[in-house]
């Protein structure tokens, strides 16, 4: 006896704006992805329900037939048409709408096996207690779809005693591909590295060597689009991202950012900007003048840009890319603004290189958590232990660096800890502070009237 899958794909896709069966999911169409999952799950045959006049399907790796309907009905009409085309050998039916194209083979196989157990007739996956697709039904139970007015949900409810739930970790069992945002999420999921967001955070390292390989088509747009969903103060969205992919322009950017070679080498450099230009235009249109001298508005725009930038780093790393933040973008902010044609009321908060990393830097770790997390009030009593822990961590990082050839090709001192380095960097002889001593005046020239 055979198992047949039915994929309703006759909808107009009005909200999506495209034929869902032919959506591009990381280089393959939705229907091809479904067909591969069904084949891997051991499904014998596939019936794809299409509307009259729909575009032809690509070649599929599984035995299949197309059932044509008018396209004016709903999914129940598609299922009724498909049920009439089931072969006599069919014992189990799997209903997998094209909307759920990211469902994996193991989920399909699991619901089929459950539906075939003694005492069961219907099986469905559940994600966090919520039922989804695909639904597997014994042929006799599925035949109830032919009754007038009956939809798949009714078939499941009418045979409740023989319904079995199969818990799954695949959120796409309950997530539809209905709108363009859903498609963006699906494409991002297919490109993502395995692991949780927290795991990605803990794996973070700054990469300073990159392959010449460009980002995938649409990848930069996807990760910036995700990044801009960061929190934003009062919804001002006071940020802009300038991507620099031209090699000669990247070399010029590198020259303005302490001659950091990886800026020129990375396929993409992005300038993450605090941008009050759009708000200034809003004020101008309303006959008002933007309050660019406000320290609060300056902070809001800068924090907005920083939140977007960190989101962008996480989005890039989640897809296997490497990044490095470039604080030296503030060394020569006027010249960098001119190179990037920034309007008034806009400055580069920091830059970021993005690309496929070719280095393997030693992870730096962080200072002890007690130096960051305080309960109820700031607690300075343990500062000596925190600083000692930070010193030990820095020296361990130096040791690991030297085992790998040093930091950017130079040996790292094993004697200096974090406290020594911070005092050298930000004490009275700070080269960092000296390099940006004119920053306030430069920000004023860029349209931020800070006093």
Question: How far is 175 from 184, CA to CA, in rounded Å?
Answer: 13
- 158 has pLDDT over 90: no
**pLDDT value of residue 67:** 96
For range 157-172, the mean pLDDT: 89
Give mean pLDDT, residues 339-352: 98
> How far is 86 from 90, CA to CA, in rounded Å?
7
- pLDDT at residue 304 in the model: 98
- Domain spans of the chain, in order of start: 2-173, 197-361
Mean pLDDT value of segment 430-451: 90
Predicted local distance difference test score (pLDDT) of residue 179: 87
The confidence score (pLDDT) of residue 191 equals 82
Return the pLDDT at 422. Answer: 94
Spatial CB neighbours of 290, under 8 Å, sequence gap ≥ 6 = 276, 279, 280, 282, 283, 284, 297, 345
Overall average pLDDT of the 249-275 stretch? 98
**CATH code, residues 197-361:** 3.40.109.10
**Alpha helices for 7-148 (secondary structure H):** 30-40, 75-83, 105-115, 139-142
pLDDT at position 238 over 90: yes
* Token reading at 299: 């902070």
pLDDT digits (tens, 9 = 90+) for 401-418: 999 889 888 999 999 999
pLDDT of residue 96: 97
Using pLDDT thresholds of 50, 70 and 90, give the confidence band for residue 34. very high
Q: What pLDDT sits at residue 73?
A: 81
Output phi, psi for 64, to 5 deg. Answer: -150, 160
Structure tokens that stand for 104 in this block: 């994996």
- For the chain, the 3-state helix, strand and coil shares in percent, each to the nearest 5, are 45, 20, 40
How many angstroms separate the Cα of 318 from the Cα of each of 126, 219, 313?
26, 12, 9
Mean pLDDT across the stretch 330-348? 97
Euclidean distance between CA atoms 346 and 184, whole angstroms: 29
Give the pLDDT score at 218.
Answer: 86
Residue 242 has what pLDDT? 98
Exposure class string for 186-215: b at 16+ Cβ within 10 A, else e: bbbeebeeeeeeeebeeeebbbbbbeeeeb
Q: How confident is the model at residue 14 (pLDDT cuts 50, 70, 90)?
A: confident
Structural contact between residues 274 and 246, judged by C-beta atoms closer than 8 angstroms? no
- The yes-or-no verdict on residue 11 having pLDDT over 90 is no
Q: Which two tokens stand for residue 411?
A: 């040996």
- pLDDT at residue 451 is higher than 80: no
Write down the pLDDT at residue 328.
Answer: 96
Report percent pLDDT > 90 for the chain.
81
Query: Confidence class of residue 324 from pLDDT cuts 50, 70 and 90?
Result: very high
Residues 6+ positions from 294 with CB-CB distance below 8 Å: none
Q: Which of 388, 169, 343 is CA-nearest to residue 242?
A: 343
pLDDT in tens, 55-91: 999 999 999 999 999 878 889 999 999 999 999 999 9
What pLDDT score does 184 carry?
84
pLDDT value of residue 198:
86
Residue 195: pLDDT band with limits 50, 70, 90: confident
Residue range 194-198: average pLDDT? Answer: 81
Sign of CA dihedral 201, 207, 213, 218: positive
- Mean pLDDT, range 353-382, rounded to an integer: 94
**Cα-based distances in Å from 394 to 363, 409, 411:** 10, 18, 14
Banded model confidence at residue 1, pLDDT cuts 50, 70, 90? confident
- CATH number of 2-173: 1.10.3210.10, 3.90.550.10, 3.40.50.800, 3.60.15.10? 3.90.550.10
Query: Can you give the pLDDT at residue 378?
Result: 96
* Whole-number average pLDDT of the chain: 93
């Amino acid at each position: 006896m055979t198992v047949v899958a039915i994929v309703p794909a006759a909808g107009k896709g009005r909200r999506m704006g495209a034929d869902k069966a032919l959506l591009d999911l990381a280089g393959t169409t939705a229907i091809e992805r479904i067909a591969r999952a069904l084949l891997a799950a051991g499904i014998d045959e596939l019936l794809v329900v299409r509307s009259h006049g729909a575009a032809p399907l690509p070649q599929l790796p599984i035995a299949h037939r197309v059932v044509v309907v008018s396209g004016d009905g709903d999914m129940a009409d598609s299922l009724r048409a498909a049920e009439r085309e089931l072969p006599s050998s069919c014992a189990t039916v799997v209903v997998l709408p094209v909307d759920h194209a990211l469902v994996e083979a193991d989920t399909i196989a699991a619901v089929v096996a459950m539906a075939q157990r003694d005492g069961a007739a219907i099986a469905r996956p559940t994600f966090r207690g919520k039922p989804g697709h695909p639904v597997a039904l014994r042929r006799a139970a599925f035949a109830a779809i032919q009754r007038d007015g009956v939809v798949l949900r009714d078939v499941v409810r009418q045979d409740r005693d023989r319904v079995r739930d199969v818990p799954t970790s695949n959120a796409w069992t309950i997530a539809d591909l209905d709108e363009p945002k859903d498609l963006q999420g699906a494409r991002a999921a297919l490109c993502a590295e395995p692991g949780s967001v927290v795991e990605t955070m803990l794996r973070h390292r700054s990469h300073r060597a990159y392959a010449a390989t460009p980002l995938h088509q649409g990848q930069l747009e996807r990760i910036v689009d995700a990044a801009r969903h960061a929190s934003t103060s009062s919804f001002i969205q006071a940020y802009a991202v300038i991507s620099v992919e031209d090699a000669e322009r990247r070399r010029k950017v590198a020259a303005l950012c302490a001659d950091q070679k990886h800026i020129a080498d990375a396929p993409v450099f992005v300038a993450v900007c605090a941008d009050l230009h759009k708000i200034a235009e809003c004020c101008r249109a309303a006959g008002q003048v933007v309050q660019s001298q406000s320290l609060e508005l300056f902070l809001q725009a800068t924090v907005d840009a920083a939140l977007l930038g960190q989101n962008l780093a996480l989005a890039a790393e989640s897809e296997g890319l490497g990044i490095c933040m470039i604080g030296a973008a503030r060394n020569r902010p006027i010249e960098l603004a001119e190179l990037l044609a920034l309007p008034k009321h806009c400055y580069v908060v920091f830059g970021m290189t993005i690309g496929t990393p070719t280095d393997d830097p030693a992870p730096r770790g962080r200072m002890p958590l007690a130096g960051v997390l305080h309960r109820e009030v700031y607690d300075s009593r343990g500062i000596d232990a925190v600083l000692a822990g930070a010193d030990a961590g820095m020296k361990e990082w130096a040791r690991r660096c030297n085992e790998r050839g040093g930091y950017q090709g130079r040996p790292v001192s094993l004697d200096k800890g974090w406290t020594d380095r911070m005092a050298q960097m930000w004490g009275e002889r700070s080269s960092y502070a000296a390099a940006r001593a004119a920053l306030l005046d430069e920000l004023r020239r860029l349209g931020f009237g800070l006093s």
